[in-house]
Amino acid sequence: MKNTKLTDKTDNYRILSVYIDNIMRKTENHEQQTRLVLDCYTIVIVRSGKIHIEESGQQMILRKGDAVFFEKGKMAIGKALKGDECWIMIIQFDGEGVPGMLQYLHIQDGERFNVSGNVLAAELDSMIQTWEAGEYFRASVMLQSLFLTIHDIRGTDYRSLDLNTIYEYIQEHYAEPLDLNSLSHLYGTSVSYFSRAFKQHFGTAPMTFVNEVRMHYARLFLTTTEMKVQEIAGHCGFEKMEYFCYVFKKVEGCTPSQYRLNRWHTDKNPCTADSGLKMESGGNL
């Protein structure tokens, strides 16, 4: 019987029902985005930093130690969060046995898991090292074991990222559509759990904080630019100007136009209020 060298690159390891097609390393930064055309089934793993990924209308943030699985035939866009340089690994795999394996293990498109400091991390590192050593057949067999481990640890209470990351994300993406569903999806829990956790941690409801950030920038734009109110509404994440004016008046006690006019008068006559107080004090003496 002829022995097959598993380290030989010419080995036809693709005869396996599940095989690794490629493993890549990439570095991302916030000034550019990467378009991932997923010709194979794919696992994206974050080795350092944080990255925002959008796929089929779903958005997620992954940080160091996080991983996500994507179905074959999808397209995803990834971009490192502002201030972060992100290093990711991309594992692409295929084979006629993959659909059956995923169905049996109940692993779905967009499923996230953690590979930081657990048994999964050790298996993953060993598989990658085996692949990079040229043992493609052996590494492909190890991939199936890796998915069994993913299935076994799924019961752990894993959340994609901490609340501070969501807090930072809101501050950076306040001009984009944000609601409880999208924010809880980023956090990786139900709406009710996320809302409760956010309020306990920061002392305010998630959407209240979103509006606070938006109002901060609305005040800034009103006092430092000549943009029209409708433009400012759009720049602050409000699709309808009427709702923007409603929220603004609820927070500030006046309309955006009145706020701008009041600030203009105050800036033009900075001593008016103090003078009034002095005159009143002088009259009482």
Q: State the Cα–Cα distance between residues 253 and 262, nearest whole angstrom.
A: 12
Q: Which residue has the tokens 């991309």?
A: 90
Q: State the Cα–Cα distance between residues 85 and 92, nearest whole angstrom.
A: 23
Q: What is the pLDDT of residue 1?
A: 36
145 DSSP 8-state letter:
H
Q: Which residue has the tokens 């050790």?
A: 122
Instruction: Delimit the CATH 1.10.10.60 region(s) of the chain.
Output: 163-268
Q: What is the pLDDT of residue 192?
A: 86
Q: What is the pLDDT of residue 64?
A: 84
Q: State the Cα–Cα distance between residues 252 and 275, nearest whole angstrom.
A: 25
Q: What is the pLDDT of residue 274?
A: 46
Q: Which residues are CB-contacts of 80 (< 8 A; sequence separation ≥ 6)?
A: 28, 29, 30, 49, 50, 51, 52, 86
The CATH number of the domain covering residues in 163-268: 1.10.10.60
pLDDT lower than 70: segments of the chain: 1-11, 29-31, 82-84, 117-118, 154-162, 267-285
- Which among 145, 115, 153, 120 has a CA at the least distance from the CA of 20? 145
Q: State the Cα–Cα distance between residues 123 and 4, nearest whole angstrom.
A: 24
Cα–Cα distances in angstroms (integers) from residue 215 to residues 177, 183, 243, in the given order = 15, 19, 12
| Other beta carbons within 10 Å of 143 | 23
Residue 188 · residue 145 · CB < 8 Å: no
Whether the model pTM is above 0.75: no
282 DSSP 8-state letter:
H
Q: What is the pLDDT of residue 268?
A: 64
Query: In degrees to the nearest 10, what's the CA dihedral of 63, 69, 73, 79?
Result: 0
**Which pair of structure tokens corresponds to residue 159?**
């959340």
The residue count of the chain comes to 285
Q: Which residues are CB-contacts of 125 (< 8 A; sequence separation ≥ 6)?
A: none
Residue 33 · residue 7 · CB < 8 Å: no
Instruction: Delimit the CATH 2.60.120.280 region(s) of the chain.
Output: 13-153
Q: What is the pLDDT of residue 210?
A: 95
Q: What is the pLDDT of residue 154?
A: 64
Q: What is the pLDDT of residue 16?
A: 86
The CATH number of the domain covering residues in 13-153: 2.60.120.280
Coil, helix or strand at residue 118: coil
